[in-house]
A = this chain, B = another copy of it.
Amino acid sequence: MRLISLGHGAGGQLTADLIREVFVSRLGNRYLDQLSDSAVVPAPGERLALTTDGFVVTPLFFPGGDIGKLAVCGTVNDLAVAGAEPLYLTASFIIEEGLDVDELTRVVASMAHAAAETGVAVVAGDTKVVERGGCDRLFIATAGVGRLLPGADLGPDRVRPGDRLVLSGSVGRHGVAVWSQRPGVTFRTPVTSDCAPVAPLTSALVAALGGAVHWMRDPTRGGLATVAAELGEQAATAVLLDEEAVPVDAPVRAACEMLGLDPLYLANEGRFVGVVAEEAAAQAVEILRRAGQDGAAVVGRVSDPAEADWAVLGAGAYLRTSLGGIKPLLRLAGEQLPRIC
């Protein structure tokens, strides 16, 4: 067992060795291999999508993924829901002295796998090491650059009354999978994270439906409810989620009942919500199901002022409960579980 030392982060020979052995050997590509201060890459068209995310998930490894897979998928998904094709990633590692190099290597291999699956190249990186106790094992911050898809025209200003909310699959798996690793928690049926790149799905939707896709977002921290609340706020409209239509896998539902969690607020890392024109909603679900997303469903809609029962609702998100009532859906107010991603 080799352990990370402070020297691995000092920018000298040990850093160079670590970069070569662990990072370049697995993530290498023509851009990263130059080991320059910056990677020089071809610009992908006239507009770029840029995003960043920090990952502090604990534990580093969980059913269905690890921090490396998450760091790639999380940033790829932020590009995807902006209507972009993810192309380049950068990765910044903050490592606690004493981390096993083999664990770091597993994480990097997992990043390489997720990047290859999505067709993105990790083109630049950085490694810092902090003394024992200075951080909790390993944090990764990734940034992403994508090419805007032709035909993508997304934004809260494009959301229209009557639009449907299409969800790509069941909610809550990532949150429950990470919960399940906490000491003392045991589930009858193990739940694996949904962590996956959604870019192939969002690209398929935009390619097929073009301007009929009005807005997309991935329900990570804060879950589907928070996405609905943000949509209502940004589009200055009322958004109605239909509780019975939201797919929740049985083991996730059981875990939520046991732990007192609300699946609508649990984090997902391989799902997205698309707001599409009413007439395109059925086709959107069909496209997602054909792509293997069995749980894809219309889960809500945007307020249509012509409907009588909407008149009383202001801008915001609302849940039509399984009992038929309507209650406001606020953003997540506190913290269900820290360090879910």
Hey, which bits of chain A sit against chain B, CB under 8 A? 5-7, 9-16, 31, 35-56, 77-79, 81-82, 84, 88, 90-94, 123-131, 133-136, 139, 141, 143-146, 148, 155, 217-218, 220-222, 226, 234, 267, 330-336, 338-339, 341
Contacts and interface: CB of A to CB of B under 8 A. Distances in A.
A40 B48 CA distance: 5
Contacts of A217: 37
B141 A94 contact: yes
A141 B338 contact: no
A51 B90 contact: yes
A126 B222 contact: no
B12 A334 contact: yes
A220 B11 contact: yes
Main secondary structure of the interface of A (DSSP, over half): mixed
Copies of this chain, complex-wide, total 2
B54 A14 contact: no
Given A54-B126, A92-B52, A222 B144 contact: no
A52 B125 contact: yes
A51 B124 contact: yes
25 contacts: A6-B338, A7-B333, A10-B221, A10-B332, A11-B220, A12-B226, A12-B332, A13-B332, A14-B333, A15-B221, A31-B50, A37-B51, A38-B49, A38-B50, A38-B84, A39-B49, A43-B44, A50-B124, A52-B125, A52-B126, A92-B143, A124-B143, A134-B136, A141-B143, A145-B145
A333 B12 contact: yes
A51 B38 contact: yes
A144 B338 contact: no
Contacts of A93: 54
B338 A78 contact: no
A316 to B, nearest CB: 12
Nearest to A57: B128
Contact of A123 (B44, B45, B50, B88): B50
A221 B12 CA distance: 7
B38 A335 contact: no
A311 B10 CA distance: 32
B43 A50 contact: no
